[in-house]
Amino acid sequence: MLPRIAEYYAITLAGNKIREVSELNKEKVLKSDFSLLQETHSNLAFSKGLFSELSQDGMEILRRSMGGHGTSYYSGVPQLMNEYIANNTHEGENTVMYLQTARYVLKNYLGFITKGKPLADSVKYIARIQDLADTQFTGKNPWTLEELRNVLVRSLGHIVGVIGARISNK
């Protein structure tokens, strides 16, 4: 149950940030400025895919934790899940949504690495690819939230770097 609540908070906070960027994009588009359009598309594609998937997987975990009640129609849970499942497909099939975001991230990576193009806010972590090599794991336990966040950001940058390097070598 607690990981599902943690996911709820993460989704809500990320959703608020994405809404902010989307609103800003709307204001800019009304002034014929399309500079945030691609980033907004990538943010929305990624969040639609991930949030609906986390929600559906979370519902299934909670359903199983209810034992027999989770399978009984009179609990209302199976109907709820049946209703929800379409969210992975409509308004953009999730695999396709992830591909859209991956394309945007890799495009930013290649622009940054080969031409030194500035990175959009949501992919700034790419600039920290080299950081991973310099990371010192001190073995301190527990890590602070900031340390944990740093390691996650660096790992993400590293993964994008590895994939981007493979694609650009083809």
Ligand X SMILES: Cc1cc2nc3c(=O)[nH]c(=O)nc-3n(C[C@H](O)[C@H](O)[C@H](O)COP(=O)(O)OP(=O)(O)OC[C@H]3O[C@@H](n4cnc5c(N)ncnc54)[C@H](O)[C@@H]3O)c2cc1C
**Residue 67, both tokens:** 């034992």
Which of 35, 65, 79, 89 binds ligand X (CB under 6 A)? It is 89
Is residue 92 within the footprint of ligand X (CB under 6 A)?
Answer: yes
Residue-wise DSSP of 118-131 = PPPGGGGGGGGTTH
Which of these is catalytic: 20, 23, 27, 91? 91
Q: Please enumerate in sequence order all residues whose Cβ is within 8 A of that of 55, keeping only pairs 6 or more positions apart, or say none.
A: 11, 84, 87
CB of 112 to ligand X, least distance (A): 25
Spatial contact of 90 and 76, defined as CB atoms under 8 Å apart:
no
Within its chain, how far is the Cα of 23 from the centroid?
Answer: 19
Of residues 94 and 112, the one with the C-beta less far from ligand X: 94
Is residue 85 within the footprint of ligand X (CB under 6 A)?
Answer: no
Spatial contact of 128 and 156, defined as CB atoms under 8 Å apart:
no
Is residue 5 within the footprint of ligand X (CB under 6 A)?
Answer: no
Look up tokens 């959703």; give the residue: 15
Catalytic status, residue 91: yes
Rg (CA), the chain: 19
Is residue 93 within the footprint of ligand X (CB under 6 A)?
Answer: yes
The count of chain residues that interact with ligand X, using the rule CB under 6 A, is: 8
Which of 90, 115, 140, 166 binds ligand X (CB under 6 A)? It is 90
Residues 47 and 40: their CA atoms lie apart, in Å, by: 10
CB of 89 to ligand X, least distance (A): 4
Is residue 152 within the footprint of ligand X (CB under 6 A)?
Answer: no
Is residue 155 within the footprint of ligand X (CB under 6 A)?
Answer: no
Is residue 86 within the footprint of ligand X (CB under 6 A)?
Answer: yes
Q: Which residues are known catalytic residues? A: 91
Q: Which residues sit at the interface with ligand X, rule CB under 6 A?
A: 86, 89-90, 92-93, 95-96, 99
